Amino acid sequence: MIDKGIIEASNDEREAGLRADYDALAEQLDRRGIDIAGIKDKIAGFGIAIPSWGVGTGGTRFARFPGPGEPRGVFDKLDDCGVIHRLTAATPRVSLHIPWDEADPADLRAKAEETGLGFDAMNSNTFSDQPGQALSYKFGSLSHVDAAVRAQAVEHNLHCIALGREIGSRALTVWVGDGSNFPGQTHLARQFDRYLDATKEIYAGLPGDWRLLTEHKMYEPAFYSTVVQDWGTNYLIAQELGERAQCLVDLGHHAPNVNIEMIVARLARFGKLGGFHFNDSKYGDDDLDTGAIDPYRLFLVFNELVEADGPGFEPMHMLDQSHNVTDPIESLMVSATEVQRAYAQALLVDRAALAGFQEGNDALMATTTLKRAFRTDVEPILAMARLEAGAAIDPVAAFRASGYRAQVAEQRPAVAGGSGGIV
Amino acid sequence: MIDKGIIEASNDEREAGLRADYDALAEQLDRRGIDIAGIKDKIAGFGIAIPSWGVGTGGTRFARFPGPGEPRGVFDKLDDCGVIHRLTAATPRVSLHIPWDEADPADLRAKAEETGLGFDAMNSNTFSDQPGQALSYKFGSLSHVDAAVRAQAVEHNLHCIALGREIGSRALTVWVGDGSNFPGQTHLARQFDRYLDATKEIYAGLPGDWRLLTEHKMYEPAFYSTVVQDWGTNYLIAQELGERAQCLVDLGHHAPNVNIEMIVARLARFGKLGGFHFNDSKYGDDDLDTGAIDPYRLFLVFNELVEADGPGFEPMHMLDQSHNVTDPIESLMVSATEVQRAYAQALLVDRAALAGFQEGNDALMATTTLKRAFRTDVEPILAMARLEAGAAIDPVAAFRASGYRAQVAEQRPAVAGGSGGIV
Amino acid sequence: MIDKGIIEASNDEREAGLRADYDALAEQLDRRGIDIAGIKDKIAGFGIAIPSWGVGTGGTRFARFPGPGEPRGVFDKLDDCGVIHRLTAATPRVSLHIPWDEADPADLRAKAEETGLGFDAMNSNTFSDQPGQALSYKFGSLSHVDAAVRAQAVEHNLHCIALGREIGSRALTVWVGDGSNFPGQTHLARQFDRYLDATKEIYAGLPGDWRLLTEHKMYEPAFYSTVVQDWGTNYLIAQELGERAQCLVDLGHHAPNVNIEMIVARLARFGKLGGFHFNDSKYGDDDLDTGAIDPYRLFLVFNELVEADGPGFEPMHMLDQSHNVTDPIESLMVSATEVQRAYAQALLVDRAALAGFQEGNDALMATTTLKRAFRTDVEPILAMARLEAGAAIDPVAAFRASGYRAQVAEQRPAVAGGSGGIV
Amino acid sequence: MIDKGIIEASNDEREAGLRADYDALAEQLDRRGIDIAGIKDKIAGFGIAIPSWGVGTGGTRFARFPGPGEPRGVFDKLDDCGVIHRLTAATPRVSLHIPWDEADPADLRAKAEETGLGFDAMNSNTFSDQPGQALSYKFGSLSHVDAAVRAQAVEHNLHCIALGREIGSRALTVWVGDGSNFPGQTHLARQFDRYLDATKEIYAGLPGDWRLLTEHKMYEPAFYSTVVQDWGTNYLIAQELGERAQCLVDLGHHAPNVNIEMIVARLARFGKLGGFHFNDSKYGDDDLDTGAIDPYRLFLVFNELVEADGPGFEPMHMLDQSHNVTDPIESLMVSATEVQRAYAQALLVDRAALAGFQEGNDALMATTTLKRAFRTDVEPILAMARLEAGAAIDPVAAFRASGYRAQVAEQRPAVAGGSGGIV
User: With an 8 Å Cβ cutoff, is C256 touching chain B?
Assistant: yes
Give the pLDDT confidence score for residue A417 in this predicted structure.
84
User: With an 8 Å Cβ cutoff, is D195 touching chain B?
Assistant: no
3-state class (DSSP) for residue B96? coil
Give the pLDDT confidence score for residue C201 in this predicted structure.
98
Contact D364 A331 (CB under 8 A): yes
Contact A184 C354 (CB under 8 A): yes
Q: Which residues of C touch D53 (CB under 8 A)?
A: 422-423
Give the pLDDT confidence score for residue A418 in this predicted structure.
81
Q: How far is D131 from chain B (nearest CA, A)?
A: 22
**Taking a C-beta distance cutoff of 8 angstroms, is the pair C90, C395 a contact?**
no
Domain residues for the domain of A201 are: 48-348
Task: Tell whether the torsion through CA atoms of C136, C142, C146 and C147 is positive or negative.
Answer: positive
CATH number, position C329: 3.20.20.150
- D384 lies in a domain? no
Q: Which residues of B touch A421 (CB under 8 A)?
A: 58-64, 419-421
Q: How far is C208 from chain D (nearest CA, A)?
A: 32
User: With an 8 Å Cβ cutoff, is B224 touching chain A?
Assistant: yes
User: With an 8 Å Cβ cutoff, is C334 touching chain D?
Assistant: no
Averaged pLDDT, A205-227: 98
Q: d(Cα D366, Cα A248) in Å, to the nearest integer?
A: 32
Q: d(Cα D35, Cα C291) in Å, to the nearest integer?
A: 61
Contact D293 C183 (CB under 8 A): yes
- Give, as one character, the DSSP assignment of residue B11: H
Contact C359 A265 (CB under 8 A): no
- A172 lies in a domain? yes
- D411 lies in a domain? no
Give the pLDDT confidence score for residue B421 in this predicted structure.
74
**Taking a C-beta distance cutoff of 8 angstroms, is the pair B291, B337 a contact?**
no
Confidence of residue C391 (pLDDT cuts 50, 70, 90): very high
Confidence of residue D417 (pLDDT cuts 50, 70, 90): confident
Residues of chain B with pLDDT under 50: none
**Taking a C-beta distance cutoff of 8 angstroms, is the pair B61, B119 a contact?**
no
Give the Cβ contact number of residue D13 at 10 Å: 12
Q: How far is A46 from chain B (nearest CA, A)?
A: 26
pLDDT at C214 over 70: yes
Give the pLDDT confidence score for residue C417 in this predicted structure.
84
pLDDT digits (tens, 9 = 90+) for C124-165: 999 999 999 999 999 999 999 999 999 999 999 999 999 999
pLDDT at C108 over 80: yes
DSSP-assigned states of every residue in B259-275:
-HHHHHHHHHHTT-EEE
Q: Nearest by CB to A364, from D282, D326, D365: name it.
A: D326
Give the pLDDT confidence score for residue D4 in this predicted structure.
95
Q: Nearest by CB to B218, from A131, A283, A289: name it.
A: A283
Task: Tell whether the torsion through CA atoms of B346, B351, B357 and B358 is positive or negative.
Answer: positive
Give me the number of domains chain C comprises: 1
Give the pLDDT confidence score for residue C73 in this predicted structure.
97
Contact B233 D266 (CB under 8 A): yes
**Nearest one of A237, A169, A240 to A209, comparing CA atoms:** A169
User: With an 8 Å Cβ cutoff, is D255 touching chain A?
Assistant: no
User: With an 8 Å Cβ cutoff, is C195 touching chain D?
Assistant: no
| Distance between first and last Cα of chain C | 39
Strand order in the sheet with A316-319: A97-98, A122-124, A171-174, A211-215, A245-250, A273-278, A316-319
User: With an 8 Å Cβ cutoff, is B218 touching chain A?
Assistant: yes
- A155 lies in a domain? yes
**Taking a C-beta distance cutoff of 8 angstroms, is the pair D59, D326 a contact?**
no
**Taking a C-beta distance cutoff of 8 angstroms, is the pair C318, C91 a contact?**
no
Q: Nearest by CB to C368, from B259, B293, B334: name it.
A: B334
pLDDT at D148 over 70: yes
Q: Nearest by CB to C255, from A139, A257, A363: name it.
A: A257
**Taking a C-beta distance cutoff of 8 angstroms, is the pair B108, B136 a contact?**
no
pLDDT at C419 over 90: no
pLDDT at D416 over 90: no
Q: How far is B31 from chain C (nearest CA, A)?
A: 8
Q: d(Cα A396, Cα A398) in Å, to the nearest integer?
A: 5
List the Cα angle A162/A168/A172 in 5-degree steps: 55
Distances (CA, A) of D257 to A51, B224, C221: 27, 10, 21
pLDDT at D1 over 90: no
**Taking a C-beta distance cutoff of 8 angstroms, is the pair C50, C91 a contact?**
yes
Contact D221 C324 (CB under 8 A): yes
Q: Which residues of B touch A131 (CB under 8 A)?
A: 416
Partners for B (CB, 8 Å, 3+ pairs)? A, C, D
Q: d(Cα B58, Cα B70) in Å, to the nearest integer?
A: 11
- C411 lies in a domain? no
Q: d(Cα A322, Cα D130) in Å, to the nearest integer?
A: 55
Give the pLDDT confidence score for residue B147 in this predicted structure.
98
Contact C181 A363 (CB under 8 A): yes
User: With an 8 Å Cβ cutoff, is A322 touching chain B?
Assistant: yes
For chain D, what is the HEC assignment? CCCHHHHHHHHHHHHHHHHHHHHHHHHHHHHCCCCHHHHHHHHHCCCCEEEHHHHCCCECCCCECCCCCCCCCHHHHHHHHHHHHHHHCCCCEEECEECCCCCCHHHHHHHHHHHCCEECCEEECCCCCCCCCCCCCCCCCCCCCCHHHHHHHHHHHHHHHHHHHHHCCCEEEECCCCEECCCCCCCHHHHHHHHHHHHHHHHHCCCCCCEEEEECCCCCCCCCEECCCCHHHHHHHHHHHCCCEEEEEECCCCCCCCCHHHHHHHHHHCCCEEEEEECECCCCCCCECCCCCCHHHHHHHHHHHHHHCCCCCCCEEEECCCCCCCCHHHHHHHHHHHHHHHHHHHHHCCHHHHHHHHHCCCHHHHHHHHHHHHHCCCHHHHHHHHHHCCCCCCHHHHHHHHCHHHHHHHHCCCCCCECCCCC
pLDDT at A423 over 70: no
User: With an 8 Å Cβ cutoff, is D185 touching chain A?
Assistant: no
Question: Helices in A292-360 by DSSP H: which ranges?
Answer: 295-308, 328-347, 351-359
pLDDT at C422 over 90: no
Percent above pLDDT 90 for chain C: 98
Q: Which residues of A touch D18 (CB under 8 A)?
A: none
Averaged pLDDT, A6-15: 98
- B198 lies in a domain? yes
Give the pLDDT confidence score for residue A292 in this predicted structure.
98
Indicate the pTM of the whole model. 0.98
Averaged pLDDT, C243-247: 98
Averaged pLDDT, D334-362: 98
Q: Which residues of D touch A364 (CB under 8 A)?
A: 326-327, 330-331, 334, 396
Classify strands A225-226 and A179-180 as parallel, antiparallel or unpaired: antiparallel
Confidence of residue C421 (pLDDT cuts 50, 70, 90): confident
Size of interface C-D (CB pairs under 8 A): 181
Backbone angles phi, psi at B360, to 5 degrees: -95, 10
Averaged pLDDT, A364-371: 98
pLDDT at C91 over 80: yes
Partners for D (CB, 8 Å, 3+ pairs)? A, B, C
Contact A182 C355 (CB under 8 A): no
pLDDT at C423 over 70: no
Segment (H or E) for C237: helix C231-241
Q: Which residues of C touch D258 (CB under 8 A)?
A: none
Averaged pLDDT, D340-347: 98
pLDDT at D9 over 70: yes
Q: D 112-131 residues with CB below 8 A of C?
A: 127-129, 131
Q: d(Cα A70, Cα A55) in Å, to the nearest integer?
A: 8
Contact B423 A129 (CB under 8 A): no
Confidence of residue C275 (pLDDT cuts 50, 70, 90): very high
Classify strands D93-95 and D118-119 as parallel, antiparallel or unpaired: parallel
Side-chain-side CA neighbours of residue C375 (13 Å): 20
Mean of pLDDT over chain C = 97
Averaged pLDDT, C24-42: 98
Q: Which residues of A touch C224 (CB under 8 A)?
A: 259
pLDDT digits (tens, 9 = 90+) for C300-347: 999 999 999 999 999 999 999 999 999 999 999 999 999 999 999 999
Partners for A (CB, 8 Å, 3+ pairs)? B, C, D
Q: How far is C325 from chain B (nearest CA, A)?
A: 7
Contact C325 D60 (CB under 8 A): no
Query: What pairs with residue B205 in β-bridges?
Result: none
- B186 lies in a domain? yes
User: With an 8 Å Cβ cutoff, is C382 touching chain A?
Assistant: no
Classify strands D179-180 and D225-226 as parallel, antiparallel or unpaired: antiparallel
pLDDT at D423 over 70: no
Backbone angles phi, psi at A50, to 5 degrees: -105, 135
Confidence of residue D32 (pLDDT cuts 50, 70, 90): very high
Backbone angles phi, psi at C389, to 5 degrees: -90, 5
pLDDT digits (tens, 9 = 90+) for A61-92: 999 999 999 999 999 999 999 999 999 999 99
Contact C325 D182 (CB under 8 A): yes
DSSP-assigned states of every residue in C160-189:
HHHHHHHHT--EEEE----EESSTTSS-HH
- B43 lies in a domain? no
Q: How far is C25 from chain B (nearest CA, A)?
A: 9
User: With an 8 Å Cβ cutoff, is D139 touching chain B?
Assistant: yes
